[in-house]
Amino acid sequence: MNIGIIGSGGREHAICYKINKSNSSHKIYCFPGNAGTSKISTNVLINPDNFDELYDFVIKKNIDLIIVGPENSLVNGIVDFFENKNIKIFGPNKKASKLEGSKIFMKDFCIKNKIPTAKYIEVKDLKSAQDFLISSNFPVVVKSDGLAAGKGVTICNNTDEVLKDVKRILDGKFKSSKKVIIEEFLKGEEASYFVITDGINFKNIGTAQDHKRVGEGDIGLNTGGMGAYSPSYLIDDEVEEKIVQKIIKPTIDGMRKMGTPYRGILYAGLMIHDKEPKLIEYNIRFGDPECQVLMLRMKSQLLDIILSIFDNTLKEKKIIWEENPGITIVAASKGYPESFKNNVEIKNLENLKLTNSKQIFHAGTIKNEKGKILSNGGRVLNSTVVSETLKNARIEALDLLDQLDWENKYYRRDIGFRVIKK
């Protein structure tokens, strides 16, 4: 088959790697990919939001299936565009993508379908925000309605903080939306639960936990994710049953009943407290960096599972996992998530000993004309290892990163600290 992958992050390199490991061989194109994907596929410098240009290429190269990594393309309607042209594309359509694309849509949907989540209100001005605060306890959480690349959420401890943040969003801090909600702060520990669904049936496609803060000990600014591990130790059979019955099933059934069946990967960001899961948010795609560790732990063929969505055989599929746990540690450019330097050479990457359970997935990297690998973004590499214990996995993942000769590298050494006791 000829396969196209949309995106350029560590998630897309991991998907590309996994498909490249399939039993049968495939020609893979990445739009636009990174230095890592260029070794196992063809990078194509087309802006994935330019659907017409993408379509011309897809026709020219006889691409049979498109897999979409990032949420922006999905929210922009890439799936609707290619479905209208009868090209197989994996991911939810524009309407179903509102589960991530609009927090107000998602919250309203949860209420209608009795899905446990934090209480919320939409505030249209500062006065209604103030009125709401009279009867609520701090902290509260202020959120922008639309996509905000992880920057749309602030936990506020007093009225001034809330009003400042609400004002900024109402004034247009985020291009995606000027709408704002305030919600109840949920206590507990976060975990992620992933399913793949054809709109009717669904299968669990992994669990994980990630570390969003930039600093060790989970302090400092929020990022796209500094590392993750799988499986989540919070999700045992009892908790999983609650997640499925109270959250996942009502979501998939509810979307179908609304006439917007959800097809693709659904990622539930959960808060778990006393074994009770509540939904914090939905994402309409794999997590990044969670996907990297899931792809290394998955024994089944990813492509086979994705294709089952199109021939209605998902129900019969069994997704098989490596029992050992896995970890992924993000190596970022020093200064991330604020300002950082690009085009810094990363040396010694080619000398690392990689195996089926030890991989470096690239995110923000490019290869220059001399074949050198340069940093090209905030999150740059993902050292990903599956091993008998999470502690060993972390030691091995750090060892790979320690061997890199790269002046600007920054990574946390404590990923997984809630599980890995000294």
Binding residues (CB under 6 A) for ligand AMP: these are 118, 141, 150, 152-153, 183, 185-186, 190, 212, 269, 280-281
**For ligand GLY, the closer CB: 34 or 38:** 34
Three-state helix/strand/coil letters over 361-397: EECCEEECCCCCEEECCCEEEEEEEECCCHHHHHHHH
Please report whether residue 100 would count as binding ligand GLY according to CB under 6 A: no
Residue 288 binding result from ligand AMP, ligand GLY, none, given CB thresholds of 5 to 8 Å by partner type: ligand GLY
Q: How far is the CB of 328 from ligand AMP (least distance, A)?
A: 17
* Alpha helices for 50-143 (secondary structure H): 51-60, 71-75, 78-84, 98-101, 103-112, 126-134
Q: How far is the CB of 16 from ligand GLY (least distance, A)?
A: 17
Residue 100 binding result from ligand AMP, ligand GLY, none, given CB thresholds of 5 to 8 Å by partner type: none
Residue 185 binding result from ligand AMP, ligand GLY, none, given CB thresholds of 5 to 8 Å by partner type: ligand AMP
Q: Give the three-state DSSP class for 3.
A: strand
Cβ–Cβ < 8 Å for 237, 72: no
**For ligand AMP, the closer CB: 269 or 319:** 269
List, in order, residues 6 or more apart from 24 with CB less than 8 Å away: 1
Please report whether residue 290 would count as binding ligand GLY according to CB under 6 A: yes
Cβ–Cβ < 8 Å for 28, 20: yes
If residue 192 lies in a helix (H) or strand (E), which one and from where to where? strand 189-197
Size of the site for ligand GLY (CB under 6 A): 7
Q: How far apart are CA 1 and CA 306, in angstroms?
A: 13
Which two three-digit tokens encode residue 313? 């055989």
Residue 210 binding result from ligand GLY, ligand AMP, none, given CB thresholds of 5 to 8 Å by partner type: ligand GLY
Which two three-digit tokens encode residue 305? 């599972």
Q: How far is the CB of 225 from ligand GLY (least distance, A)?
A: 3
Q: Which residues pair with 272 in a beta bridge?
A: 189, 277
**For ligand AMP, the closer CB: 142 or 360:** 142
Please report whether residue 287 would count as binding ligand GLY according to CB under 6 A: yes
Residue 173 binding result from ligand AMP, ligand GLY, none, given CB thresholds of 5 to 8 Å by partner type: none
Per DSSP bridges, beta strands 326-333 and 379-386 are: antiparallel
Please report whether residue 283 would count as binding ligand GLY according to CB under 6 A: yes
Give the dihedral sign, CA 198/202/205/208. Answer: positive
Instruction: State the CB neighbour count (10 A cutoff) for residue 356.
Output: 9
**For ligand GLY, the closer CB: 6 or 54:** 6
Please report whether residue 210 would count as binding ligand GLY according to CB under 6 A: yes
Residue 290 binding result from ligand AMP, ligand GLY, none, given CB thresholds of 5 to 8 Å by partner type: ligand GLY
DSSP string, 143-167: EESS--TT-SEEEESSHHHHHHHHH
Please report whether residue 288 would count as binding ligand GLY according to CB under 6 A: yes
Residue 118 binding result from ligand AMP, ligand GLY, none, given CB thresholds of 5 to 8 Å by partner type: ligand AMP
Q: What amino acid is encoded at 8 in this protein? A: S
Binding site for ligand GLY (CB under 6 A): 210, 224-225, 283, 287-288, 290
